[in-house]
Amino acid sequence: MQRVALVLVVNAGSTSLKLSLVAEDESSETVPSLEEVPHGVEAVGHRVVHGGSRFRDPTVIDGEVERQIAELSALAPLHNAPALAGIEAAQRALPDIPHVAVFDTAFHATLPDEAAVYPVPGRWTEEWGVRRYGFHGLSVAWCAERAPELLGQPSEGLRLVVCHLGGGCSVTGVRDGRSVDTTMGFSPLEGVAMATRSGSVDPGALLYLLRERGLSVEELDHALNEESGLKGLSGISGSVRELETAAPQDIRARLALDVYAHRIAGAVAGITASLGGVDALVFTAGVGEGSSQVRADVCGRLAFLGVALDLDANEAAEPDCETAGPGSSVRVLVVKAREDLVVARAVRALLYGG
């Protein structure tokens, strides 16, 4: 059967709906709104962040699938609820073509138990599903495909550490093209510091805030997701670009960027242990692609692993490129995020078998 020519990809964030058209030649263009989608779209692919243990593959959306995505909103409230709103809006605008959910968590289904299981009572894991799911899977999947092309070597045996640094941030270890460890866990709140999300915090501190300081669950949830990370540390903004501008005169902005780089570098080192070494370090997403300073700050902390940047190449970097210095034993890449392409391919494979 002939492949579908044009896929509309819907990526619903907490504050916006990003739409892109991916053609059969894998070129893409942004669509301003659902009302301006051109004729000829044959399928719609939806990025859904949390698929839990239920969704390991792309899935045609029906009422039952929507219900299960809604149930998982408790684990990813900033993401699954907007995704559902995007699905409903797109179905109203394009009711006569198939809609497919593609899940960020699916790429991490290969995590070994030692990386996926938390040291908590067994009932939590076995009955309630409290385990590491991992996120940014679509972005990491693209890097796992693109990096070998840029390096000129096959994915077999290749050990990658992928730093997806955007509004949300995660670090993932990829070996032989498969996820083996990652920093985000049960929810997209765990791991390194992010724009407004805290990343990992001592659970004892959270219990203290609930028990001794009288925070409600809702207040704690809001603070950790919306008022922490770079925004909480700086008191200014969750934007790396704004903090880099402010840092020379503002000690809190500088501290926020230092904590950010410190946590990311520490995560890279930990993931490297899971891989048994690292062949290439990959930076992707808005900050990973756009901030030469963050890349330099992270790589500077990883000199003990043999990471060395070509500072001029790093400063001038435009995806897709390499920025490692001549003495680096670890290749360093900047890769353009193409989650839209990964979604479009998944939709075509599911609906048209190719």
Active site residues: 104
Instruction: Please name the residue that has the structure tokens 């840029």.
Output: 150
Is the bond preceding residue 312 a cis peptide, omega within 30 degrees?
Answer: no
**Paired tokens of 235:** 């008191």
Say if strands 6-12 and 17-23 run parallel, antiparallel, or are unpaired.
Answer: antiparallel
- Count other Cβ atoms within 10 Å, centred on residue 292: 19
User: The tokens of 38 are what?
Assistant: 């051109």
In the three-class reduction of DSSP (H, G, I as helix; E, B as strand; rest coil), residue 36 is classed as helix
Say how far apart CA 152 and CA 279 lie, in whole Å: 13
Asked if the bond preceding 258 is cis, omega within 30° of 0, the reply is: no
Cβ neighbour number for residue 312 with a 10 Å cutoff: 10
Question: What is the Cα–Cα distance from 184 to 169, expressed in whole angstroms?
Answer: 8
**Token output for 287:** 């900050």
Residue with tokens 């897709």: 320
For residue 28, what are its two tokens? 């893409």
- Stated as kind and residue range, the H or E segment containing 170 is strand 169-175
- Return the DSSP state at 124: H
**Partners of 321 in the beta sheet?**
334
Which tokens hold the place of 138? 């679509």
Q: Bridge partners of 172? A: 162, 182
Under 8 Å CB-to-CB from 104, ≥6 apart: which residues? 47, 48, 49, 50, 51, 134, 135, 136, 137, 138
Closest CA to 320 of 206, 99, 151, 93: 151
